[in-house]
Structure 1
Amino acid sequence: MAHIDYYFGTPSPWAYLAGNRLEEIAARHGATITYKPVDLLQLFDRTGGIRPANRHPSRMEYRAQELRRWSGHLGQPLNLRPAFWPVNPAPSSYAIIAAQEAGGGDLAGLVQSFLRGVWAEEADIADDAVIRDKLSAAGFDPELANKGLFIGAETFARNLEQAVEDGVFGAPFYIVRETGERFWGQDRLDFLDRHLASL
């Protein structure tokens, strides 16, 4: 059985546009997933990337066009100027980490709800009440927002170090643990699907 390490940032529009395709691919091939939220800005700093605020206007204009095109292509609503972006990724990431540790709910749904919150719902995913609501809606104890702070902070920092070691430099980023094959971007999910089918 294959295993996928999924690196992403909760404010990432590209991770949002991935929707539930990763989970559908994993289910089709009997693969499992570990969700590894990371601080993308720190990841960019560590791996030669450029933070969005420092990118040349032409790059940001093209990014906006691509987001609009992919949003239409995938039929996923996306606000190019969300009310709460940039947003601190730590609180939502801690909640995801704590939920993954606790088990018993819809982890994929929780991850997608935070991404959707930023890009389609105008929600502040760093807000405690929003985090609690999303935990509860995904079948988790909303108290994980508090209970999971220590393990969340510890694992969040470790995820960044592991991402750098694993050759991750952006998001979404998928690594098949058994083969070391890496796939960067929601537009590479078809290649991930094909790779898993070959195992």
Structure 2
Amino acid sequence: MAHIDYFFTAISPYCYLAGQRLEEIAARHGATIAYKPLDMMALFARTGGVALADRPECRRAYRLQELRRQAAKRGLPITLKPAHFPTNPAPAAYAIIAAQAAGGGDTGALVHGLLRACWAEERDVAEDAVIRDCLTAAGFDPGLADRGLLAGAETYAANLEEATARGVFGAPFYITDRDERFWGQDRLEDLDLHLAGRL
């Protein structure tokens, strides 16, 4: 059975624009997914990435146009400058880690729900109430927001170390069990073709 490790952050607009296409692709090919949220700013510091605030104006302006176009292409609502971006993604990441470990709900729906909360609903995914709402909507116990914080923090840090060791440098980033790497929501079609044996 194929497997995909998905490295991401709960506040990336490009992760939001992926929608739930990863889950659709995995279902089509009988693949499993491991969700690995991580600290993107720490990853950037290790891999040569540049924080949005430190990018030249021409790159920031292009990013806004590209987000608008990609959202329209995918039929996803988007707020280009949401009220709660950037925010601390760690609380949402800990909830995702706890939910994945606990089971009983839809982890992909949880991840997308948190991203949608930020990019379409202008909600702060660092807030406990928002996290609880997203857990509930994805079929999880909202109490997971309060449990496993230490384990969540440890896994969050471990995901960063693993990502660095495996060549991850941005988000979304997908790695198959055969170490084929795909960076960006615009490479999901290539991941699909790869799993079909056509790339």
Amino acid paired to 2:20: N
User: In the alignment, what sits opposite 2:161?
Assistant: 161
Aligned partner of residue 135 in structure 1, secondary structure:
helix
Report the Cα offset of residue 175 of structure 1: 0.2
TM-score, length basis structure 2: 0.98
* Correspondence for 1:183: 182
Q: Distance in 1 between the 2:53 and 2:45 partners? A: 13
Structure 2 match to 1:145: 145
Structure 1 unaligned blocks of 5 or more? none
Q: What CA deviation, in whole Å up to 9, does each residue of 1:22-76 have, x standing for no partner?
A: 0000000000000000111111111011011111111100111100110111110
Residue 194 (str. 1) matches residue 176 (str. 2)? no
- Percent identical pairs in the alignment equals 64
Counterpart of 2:70 in structure 1 is: 70
| Matching of residue 127 in structure 1 with residue 127 in structure 2 | yes
Query: Shift in Å at residue 111 of structure 1?
Result: 0.4
Structure 1 runs (4+) deviating above 4 angstroms are none
Cross-structure match for 1:99:
99
Q: CA deviation at 1:151?
A: 1.1
| Stretches of structure 2 lacking an aligned partner (at least 5 in a row) | none
| Offset at residue 148 of structure 1 (A) | 2.0
Residue in structure 1 matched with residue 46 of structure 2 by the alignment: 46
Secondary structure of the structure 2 residue equivalent to 1:188: helix
The number of residue pairs the alignment matches comes to: 198
**TM-score scaled by structure 1?**
0.98
Q: CA RMSD in A?
A: 0.8
Instruction: Specify the SS of the correspondent of 2:116.
Output: helix
